[in-house]
Amino acid sequence: MAIRKIRVMGDEVLRKTSKEVKEMTPRLKTLVGDMFDTMYEAMGVGLAAPQVGILKRIVVIDTYEEGERFVLVNPVITERDGEQIGDEGCLSLPGKTAIVKRPNHVICQAYNENMEPITVEGEGLLARAICHELDHLDGILYPDVAEEPVRDVTYEEGE
């Protein structure tokens, strides 16, 4: 697999709407593997295809909790409830953070990398990651929904 270049805020691809995946091709399977490699290299918990310049509705998430590594193809949040407010960052805005309000619980319908239907239920960090990554598929970045202006991450926050 390969490490891909992560697009940063200001790159117009991050503001575009991604296209639905009709079939999982060998190229898209390679993309999924590359996305995991790129996310791990950057020490992230999620990555959406637009962040590596591909306008497809594909997201990878790994919250580093056992059993919480996901490939979400054509994902849709079908339920959301509760509330969490906290700092959020993004691999496309390195060194930045802001307070973002998200649901504390979500249910997401999607397909896995084999185009089999799956349901992912997430709470806490997983719910936040699902919401954040699905926003990327519609050209939304966390500063668009933040409760406050984006600020630089301080050393203490980044530990």
* Residue 155: band (very low, low, confident or very high) from pLDDT cuts 50, 70, 90: low
- Which residues does residue 56 pair with via DSSP β-bridges, in sequence order? 19
- Which residues does residue 105 pair with via DSSP β-bridges, in sequence order? 81, 123
8-state DSSP, 147: S
pLDDT tens track for 78-103: 999 999 999 999 999 999 999 999 99
Q: Average model confidence (pLDDT) for the chain?
A: 95
Instruction: Tell me whether residue 132 is annotated as binding.
Output: yes
- Which residues does residue 119 pair with via DSSP β-bridges, in sequence order? 109
Q: Which residues are catalytic?
A: 133
Which domains are seen in the chain, by residue range?
A: 12-158 (3.90.45.10)
Joined tokens for residue 130: 């699902």
pLDDT tens track for 108-141: 999 999 999 999 999 999 999 999 999 999 999 9
Mapping DSSP to helix (H, G, I), strand (E, B) and coil, where does residue 35 land?
helix
What is the Cα–Cα distance from 36 to 4, expressed in whole angstroms? 10
Q: Cβ distance 55 to 12 under 8 Å?
A: no
